[in-house]
A = this chain, B = another copy of it.
Amino acid sequence: MSSIKILVAQGGGPTAVINQSLVGVVLEARRFAQVERVYGALHGVRGIVDEELVDLTQETLHNLEQVARTPASALGSTRDKPDLAYCQRILAVLQAHGIGHFFYIGGNDSSDTVRIVADEARKAGHPLRCVHIPKTIDNDLVGNDHTPGYPSAARFVAQAFAGANLDNAALPGVYLGVVMGRHAGFLTAAAALARRFPGDGPHLVYLPERTFSIERFLADVKATYEKHGRCVIAVSEGIHDESGATIAEKLAKSVERDAHGNVQLSGTGALADLLCDEIKDKLKIKRVRGDTFGYLQRSFLGCVSGVDQHEAREVGEKAVQYAMWGDVDGSVAIRRSGDYAIDIVLQPLEAVAGKTRTMEDELIAPAGNDVTPAFFDYLRPLLGTDMPEAGRLRAPAVAKVLKR
């Protein structure tokens, strides 16, 4: 009996593989004879309440496969964070269209939306299976070894720092790269995977899990610069002082006080510029450059981890299987089962909704300016087997003729 209608949507910030999960849902759902229609909502929950739905049943396999390899949410996304009333409107639309299964691909906030919708459906006696499918470059969902999207973004950050390290070795100075991740430092920490040879940067890694002291930072940079004649630094956008105030806000204070208008701190190059100014002013180092990786780290077309692609597809597929066969609500999660192997499980929505995972202590070096070897063991298999490797000359020095 062909009678089930499925709805899938994508929420929050895009990732390199969020469309793998979307296509995983669509193709797996289409394998079930009882599935009549697979709908997609445009721009997440916003598209549901606005009834902006498209019929993914009519997509060809080959177009779906190309979409799967494309970064950023193909259905569009939203930053809306639904409250109870909003969730009730979602439920009303799902009921009106006879949707029996709702899949929402997203992060913390999205899982909370799924939880509320599932609750409301239960209260209203509407038969609805609700499954949350994880994605986030921040890697901050609890109950997951890691989240789809993180490995590809981590790979971008590692490749970027590997290149920045080579550039900095060729033209020495201080290089500072600001990486996304307001509360969790996983993505910033990925910069460490750029190292291959002795002396390679990043030499310093600052994470939001530790209190940032500008004095200690400057002392670290000074020591590194004196040792290596150069310094490459990875900094999380979320670094903050002991009171929790972000360093970007603190450093911008003086600028803000003097100038009219606001100094915007997110989605801008402000933090990198302010830290570079500190290094130039206090350490008197001339060549100091700062980059803010910005949107490139989550959207760049053509930088993706094969492991991430595979797993993102699978969590989409498993979500459908749980909903169709298990007849349960929940949040799909990745658990590490071997070195390297994973299991995909379903955890209760309450276990993940609205919670934030940060980096475990054993992944952060005691000095608070680097990661531990355990972090390398954790991240390396996620980057895929085809990470590009830098080379280095080993040519011996030629004896001087003129100078001694």
Contact = CB atoms under 8 A, between A and B. Distances in A.
Interface of A: 10, 13-14, 19, 39-40, 43, 50-56, 58-59, 63, 65-79, 92-93, 96-97, 159-160, 162-164, 166-167, 169-171, 175, 194, 254-255, 258-261, 264, 267-270, 272-273, 276-277, 281, 289-296, 298-303, 387-398, 400-403
A87 to B, nearest CB: 16
Contacts of A58: 395-396
Nearest to A166: B72
B72 A159 contact: no
B393 A159 contact: no
A71 B170 CA distance: 10
A301 B69 CA distance: 21
A97 B401 CA distance: 7
A101 to B, nearest CB: 15
21 contacts: A51-B402, A54-B393, A54-B395, A54-B396, A59-B393, A63-B393, A70-B392, A72-B170, A74-B170, A77-B171, A163-B299, A163-B300, A167-B295, A259-B259, A261-B277, A261-B281, A264-B276, A267-B289, A268-B272, A302-B387, A302-B388
A299 B67 CA distance: 28
B170 A76 contact: yes
Contact of A398 (B39, B264, B273): B39
A313 B178 CA distance: 34
B299 A70 contact: no
Given A72-B163, A76-B171, A269-B273, 19 more contacts: A10-B170, A13-B171, A55-B398, A66-B389, A70-B166, A70-B390, A71-B167, A74-B393, A76-B169, A92-B402, A254-B259, A255-B255, A258-B260, A261-B281, A264-B273, A268-B272, A291-B296, A293-B296, A302-B387
B164 A299 contact: yes
Contacts of A291: 292, 294-296
Contacts of A258: 258-260
A75 B69 CA distance: 37
Contacts of A395: 40, 54-56, 58-59
A159 B55 contact: no
Contacts of A78: 171
Given A164-B295, A291-B296, A302 B159 contact: yes
B299 A167 contact: yes
Contacts of A166: 14, 70-72, 299, 301
A93 B14 CA distance: 56
4 pairs of A and B residues whose beta carbons are closest in the complex: A269-B269, A66-B391, A163-B299, A72-B166
B92 A296 contact: no
Nearest to A194: B301
B71 A163 contact: yes
Nearest to A52: B397
B397 A295 contact: no
B264 A393 contact: no
Nearest to A22: B393
Contact of A397 (B53, B159, B272, B301): B53
A266 to B, nearest CB: 9
Contact of A267 (B163, B290, B390): B290
